[in-house]
Every structure is written in structure tokens, then in C-alpha cells.
């Protein structure tokens, strides 16, 4: 890989580090920021483009990034990028021709073990970024590449792991952690957006204090990371919901547990919890994004048992 290519790639990693820091807790990045990119020796270097496999003009032959487009609630993604049974990402070829120049570019990245950036669409216009990722497999029969994530220290080209460290085991572990973070970020963004950035109980509209609460926990077989299994709640009401201090009936009515209603502990308890007993939950405008009634029934039974 030409020396200039190395320098551009490292500059891209540093740019992303700064953008993720500025983005805050979730670290999701706006597409406009990624399309604009950064300046390198007088040239603009965008980080992604219209196609999934992207090489800015400043690079010679190996792509800089690969992208999975955001899913739309109730619809399948146009490309079936997914994590395989081994926990690694399967990334679709560009088209059906293994010899397409973009597929050839990723094959070169695999041959030379060049680090790339992976962008995963959370919701339209918002992406999770992970780097470095490496192409570790190529399956022309299924038109897919296998992609693994590695630790940040290997974003510095030339970094060498200790002799006793297995790159395959390390990458599988790091990829699994990334997948967990990705699902959490995707779930949070899709749920909060469906509720128009309001707490469904108190209507608070401070994005920094909003979280996505699972109606049925994700450890439960029913706890799929779908908007219909989520409610946007502020941190107070999320904690209260998780601990069954408040519940949501199948008819989307907020209920406060009896012992909490009978307690006397100052104005915070009155205005933060007790005052919302019997109020109607704020729900998304779109019917297909509203809480699943069956899931609410399951969770409401848990609330009643706790009371």
C-alpha cells in the first residue's frame, strides 16, 4: 500500500475518534458529517459515499470503508448483511460479479490485511462507526466477505500483537462486544426517534436524559430489539419501570405501585412518580411503532406480582 494511503487511513481513524468523542454517550454519527469528511493536504476526504464499499479518490486501490444501510421499521434491509453463526459479520458483495472493482478492492484489503472502517446505519441519517475492521474471509459462492472487528490499538498500521496472542480469538471477542453495543445503540435511537424524543411518561424532551426501555427484557425469548418492544423513558422513569415501581397497563395507562403511592417522601416523589398514576402513556404516531399489547400484558403481570 503506498505510504500516502497509510497516512490518509490513519488520519481518517483520528478524525473518527474526535467525532465519536463529540457525539457523546452513544457515539452515533450523522451521515452529513461522514460525507463531508476531513481535509488532507488540501484534498477533501469523505468517509462514505452512495455505495456500500467506498474508496475516496485520494486512495489508490483499497477501499476506506464499508457501510450497511439503516433498516426501516417493518422492512428488510436492501442488503442482507448479518452476523453469522461464528459471530462475525457477513458483508455482501457489490452486485453479483466477484470481479467487480469494488469487490476486488476488498479482496486486496484481505490479502494485505489493511484496516477498514465499518459504518452501520442505525436510523436514516445516523450511523455507528467501528474501526479497525478486517476482511478475513471471501465466499464467492454466497457473494459475501467475512468481516471481523479488532481492538483500537490495531488501527495504527504496523501494530504487532504479542506472539502468544491469537488474533482469531481476540477478533471474535471484540466483534461480539461490538455487536452488543451496536444492538443497544440501534434500539435506543429507533425507540427515541419513534417517541419524537419525549419521555413517554413525563414528556421530558432532553435527549441527554432519554433512554430506550425494553418492555420485555432482552434476555427473555420475547425480548426482541424491536420498537414495539420499547418505550422511550427519561432516566428516572426507566429506572422506576425496570424495578416495577411503575407499570404500564395493556391499555397504555401508567400505574404507580401501591406502596409507592402510599409513601410520603417530599415533592420529588409526588411530582416525579405519584403524580403520573393513572395518566395515559405517550405513544408513537405510527400505529406500527406503538407498544405490542401482548408484550405489555406480559410485563404488566410482572408489575402486579411485584405489588
pLDDT by residue (tens digit) across 123-139?
889 999 999 999 999 99
Whether residue 269 is found in the same domain as residue 183: no
Whether residue 213 is found in the same domain as residue 185: no
Maximum Cα interatomic distance, the chain, rounded to a whole number of Å: 72
Instruction: Give the residue numbers spanning the domain of 219.
Output: 197-306
Question: Which residue is it, cell 480469538?
Answer: 169
Ordered alpha helix ranges (H), 37-117 = 101-112
Whether residue 159 is found in the same domain as residue 280: no
Whether residue 99 is found in the same domain as residue 138: yes
Q: Residue 199 is placed in which grid cell?
A: 419521555
Give the pLDDT of residue 71. Answer: 72
Whether residue 163 is found in the same domain as residue 223: no
Residue 198: closest CA among 211, 185, 184: 211
Whether residue 116 is found in the same domain as residue 50: yes
For the chain, what is the mean pLDDT?
90
Whether residue 159 is found in the same domain as residue 27: yes
Question: Which residue is it, cell 490495531?
Answer: 154
Give the pLDDT of residue 79. Answer: 57
Q: Residue 30 is placed in which grid cell?
A: 450523522
Give the pLDDT of residue 229. Answer: 95
Cα–Cα distance, 272 to 80 (Å, whole number): 44
Q: End of a domain among 164, 191, 218? A: 191
Q: End of a domain among 163, 191, 219? A: 191
Whether residue 106 is found in the same domain as residue 135: yes
Whether residue 245 is found in the same domain as residue 292: yes
Cα–Cα distance, 174 to 279 (Å, whole number): 44
Q: Residue 95 is placed in which grid cell?
A: 452486485
Whether residue 186 is found in the same domain as residue 104: yes
Instruction: Classify 212 as helix, strand or coil.
Output: strand
Element (DSSP H or E) covering residue 16: helix 3-23
Give the pLDDT of residue 97. Answer: 95
Using a 10 angstrom Cβ sphere, with 0-12 exposed, 13-18 middle and 19 or more buried, the burial of residue 156 is exposed
Question: In this structure, what are the phi and psi dihedrals at residue 23, rounded to the nearest 5 degrees?
Answer: -75, -20
What 8-state DSSP symbol labels residue 290? S
Whether residue 168 is found in the same domain as residue 216: no
Give the pLDDT of residue 82. Answer: 82
Give the pLDDT of residue 74. Answer: 58
- Number of domains present in the structure of the chain: 2
Q: How far is CA 271 from the centre of its chain?
A: 33
Give the pLDDT of residue 283. Answer: 97
Q: End of a domain among 135, 158, 191? A: 191
Whether residue 237 is found in the same domain as residue 181: no
Cα–Cα distance, 103 to 95 (Å, whole number): 9
- What separation in angstroms does the CA of 295 have from each of 81, 198, 220, 222, 242? 28, 21, 11, 8, 14
Cα–Cα distance, 17 to 305 (Å, whole number): 46
Residue 56, C-beta contacts closer than 8 angstroms, at least 6 positions apart:
8, 37, 45, 46, 47, 49, 64
Residue 220, C-beta contacts closer than 8 angstroms, at least 6 positions apart:
none
**Cβ–Cβ < 8 Å for 68, 83:** no
Cα–Cα distance, 206 to 287 (Å, whole number): 24
CA trace torsion 29, 30, 36, 37 (10° rounding)? 0
pLDDT below 70 — which residues of the chain? Answer: 1-3, 25-26, 72-80, 155-165, 223
Amino acid at each position: 500500500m503506498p505510504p500516502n494511503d497509510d497516512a490518509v487511513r490513519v488520519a481518517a481513524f483520528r478524525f473518527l475518534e474526535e467525532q465519536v468523542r463529540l457525539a457523546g454517550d452513544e457515539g452515533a454519527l450523522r451521515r452529513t458529517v461522514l460525507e463531508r469528511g476531513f481535509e488532507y493536504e488540501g484534498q477533501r476526504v469523505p468517509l462514505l459515499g452512495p455505495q456500500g464499499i467506498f474508496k475516496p479518490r485520494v486512495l489508490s486501490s483499497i477501499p476506506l470503508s464499508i457501510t450497511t444501510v439503516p433498516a426501516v421499521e417493518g422492512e428488510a434491509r436492501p442488503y442482507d448483511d448479518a452476523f453469522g453463526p461464528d459471530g462475525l459479520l457477513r458483508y455482501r458483495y457489490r452486485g453479483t460479479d466477484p470481479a467487480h472493482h469494488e469487490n476486488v478492492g476488498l479482496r486486496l484489503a484481505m490479502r494485505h490485511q489493511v484496516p477498514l472502517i465499518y459504518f452501520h446505519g442505525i436510523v436514516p441519517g445516523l450511523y455507528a462507526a467501528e474501526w479497525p475492521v478486517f476482511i478475513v474471509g471471501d465466499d464467492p459462492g454466497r457473494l459475501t466477505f467475512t468481516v471481523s472487528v479488532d481492538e483500537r490499538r490495531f488501527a495504527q498500521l504496523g501494530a504487532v500483537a504479542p506472539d502468544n496472542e491469537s488474533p482469531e480469538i481476540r477478533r471474535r471477542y471484540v466483534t461480539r462486544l461490538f455487536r452488543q453495543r451496536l444492538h443497544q445503540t440501534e434500539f435506543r435511537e429507533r425507540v427515541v426517534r419513534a417517541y419524537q424524543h419525549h419521555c413517554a411518561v413525563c414528556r421530558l424532551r432532553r435527549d441527554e436524559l432519554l433512554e430506550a426501555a425494553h418492555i420485555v427484557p432482552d434476555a427473555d425469548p420475547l425480548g426482541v430489539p424491536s420498537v414495539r418492544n420499547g418505550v422511550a423513558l427519561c432516566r428516572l422513569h426507566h429506572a422506576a419501570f425496570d424495578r416495577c415501581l411503575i407499570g404500564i397497563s395493556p391499555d397504555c395507562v401508567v400505574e404507580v405501585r401501591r406502596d409507592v403511592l402510599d409513601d410520603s417522601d417530599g415533592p420529588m416523589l409526588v411530582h416525579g412518580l405519584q403524580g403520573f398514576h393513572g395518566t395515559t402513556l405517550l405513544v408513537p404516531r405510527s400505529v406500527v411503532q406503538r407498544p405490542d399489547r401482548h408484550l405489555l400484558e406480559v410485563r404488566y403481570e410482572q408489575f402486579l406480582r411485584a405489588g
